[in-house]
Amino acid sequence: MRTHYLMEPGSSSKVRLLVWLVKKDLGRGIVVLRDPSGLKEVRLVGGRAGDLLKLPCESLVVIEGCYSVDGLLVESYRVLHKPIEEPGIDYTVLPSDVRVLAKYSPWYMKHPLWMKIIRLQHITLYYIREFLYSRGFLELLSPMVSVAGDPGLRGARKLHTKLYGVDYELTSSVIMYKQVSAGIFEKIFFVARNVREEPSENISTGRHLVEFTQIDIEWALASLDDVIKLAEDLLEYVTRKLIVEHSDLVYSLNKEFEPLKPPFKKIRYTEALEIAKKLGYSVEWGEELSHEAEASVANYFSEPLWITHFPVISRGFYYLPEPSDPRYNMDFNLILPKGYGEVIDGGVREYRLEEVRKRIIALGEPIEKYSWFLDTIKKGGVPPSAGWGLGLERLTRYIAGVEHIVLATLFPKLPGLPKTP
């Protein structure tokens, strides 16, 4: 007899279940069982039910029996694994404190909501790859450490290590590897894991993780419009396909979800600034919009919004100034509505040696660290290109419609909260 999943639709009344015992109410003979399909509350009946109820929570058992109007009639059971001690954590209810979720993630990840979001992310990533492959983009594997990481992190700190006694930095962005690889393969992408020590207060933005995943594309000789269109096509493809193939999963997480319908509204930074001022935010030209101001501007349009052409002085390293007005970069952010905020950051790359040098120095980084990259630029190894990074966990959070990004990853690491699993 094959094993049935708890949440299997139309399973026969005679079943074989392979389940964890999650919770029990001895008085009423009711238990909560778990398997990869989710959690199910059932009343155990029959002569063997009493013994089964004596097992500690998180026992792993095979139960053979049948469903009836009274509950699950236990005909036989076998214990496969028993804990030494009960976890003492009721993971059938998710606490509101994200610190608790991160600290006890090995338990709370068993909650059906978290499990569903991880399945959603797995499927979303599959469709992202499918789309990028179909457009001729080659997937490359990202480095974990390098002699010099991205010099232009805004606000966050890089992590450091030693390899054979030499200083290395942990990957916080694959920008330089993208630019060099685009000069070989033309169209490439990384599904890059990154780690950054975010300021502790970013735990409350709901969209910052210490470890996170960027879908990082780069395209040699592409224009600003080329890569914006590519992102729009990708988001349309992925969100439509999710609804066509997995509407049950998506709607069970987010009843109001709708596939994205590009083209999205585009405004320049200067326009965004004016709208922010109209909405009561005080922000000076050249400053970054605060998370709140950005969210309010996006909500003003109630659809995903491209903000383009940020001032050169506010954004380091990556972008090429606009030839017609070099105070502004040829760059962009995609801001999701309803407060979900920035999900894509990209633009046309700076690839001219002297400009890259100047920007690294302006960021206070020692120039020698970047010698391999600067040398590669000098000798023609970095072509003009454009690209972007899409935050996978941020996209997952938006599709799933959850408040905090903590549930959009496994084993989350949160700003300011070390020592989690």
Interface of this chain with a second copy, residues 304 to 343, rule: CB under 8 A: none
- Are residues 163 and 144 in contact, defined by beta-carbon separation less than 8 angstroms? no
Integer angstrom CA distances of residue 62 from 19, 20, 55, 144, 254: 6, 9, 13, 41, 33
CB of 398: closest distance to a second copy in angstroms?
Answer: 17
For a second copy, the binding residues in 86-145 under the rule CB under 8 A are: 86-88, 106-107, 109-110, 115, 118-119, 122, 125-126, 129, 133, 138-145
Name the token pair of 289: 């919009």
Smallest CA-to-CA distance from 195 within 409, 351, 370, 357 is with: 409
210 binds a second copy (CB under 8 A): yes
Nearer to a second copy, 153 or 297 (CB): 153
Task: State the chain's maximal CA–CA distance in angstroms.
Answer: 83
CB of 9: closest distance to a second copy in angstroms?
Answer: 17
Strands 187-195 and 138-140: parallel
CB of 377: closest distance to a second copy in angstroms?
Answer: 8
CB of 235: closest distance to a second copy in angstroms?
Answer: 20
CB of 399: closest distance to a second copy in angstroms?
Answer: 16
Compute the distance between CA of residue 214 and CA of residue 389 in angstroms, rounded to an integer: 6
Compute the distance between CA of residue 30 and CA of residue 254 in angstroms, rounded to an integer: 30
User: Interface mask (CB under 8 A) for a second copy, residues 23-62, using x and -?
Assistant: ------------xx-------------------xxxxx--
Nearer to a second copy, 174 or 305 (CB): 174
How many binding residues for a second copy (CB under 8 A)? 89
CB of 268: closest distance to a second copy in angstroms?
Answer: 27
Nearer to a second copy, 83 or 337 (CB): 83
Name the token pair of 63: 């139960």
Nearer to a second copy, 88 or 364 (CB): 88
Q: Which residues of 364-384 are buried (b: 16+ CB within 10 A; e: fewer)?
A: ebeeebbeebbebbeeeebbb
Compute the distance between CA of residue 186 and CA of residue 21 in angstroms, rounded to an integer: 53
CB of 265: closest distance to a second copy in angstroms?
Answer: 31
Binder to a second copy among 124, 213, 214, 296 (CB under 8 A)? 213
Find residue 68's DSSP bridge partners. 71
For a second copy, the binding residues in 340-399 under the rule CB under 8 A are: 351, 353, 372-373, 376, 378-381, 383-384, 392
Nearer to a second copy, 275 or 417 (CB): 417
CB of 286: closest distance to a second copy in angstroms?
Answer: 30
Compute the distance between CA of residue 295 and CA of residue 336 in angstroms, rounded to an integer: 8
Smallest CA-to-CA distance from 211 within 41, 354, 413 is with: 413
Nearer to a second copy, 94 or 307 (CB): 94
Q: Residues 6 or more apart from 383 whose CB is under 8 A from it?
A: 179, 182, 183, 220, 221, 351
Nearer to a second copy, 285 or 411 (CB): 411
For a second copy, the binding residues in 146-205 under the rule CB under 8 A are: 146-147, 159-166, 168, 170-171, 177, 180-181, 184-187, 193-195, 197, 200
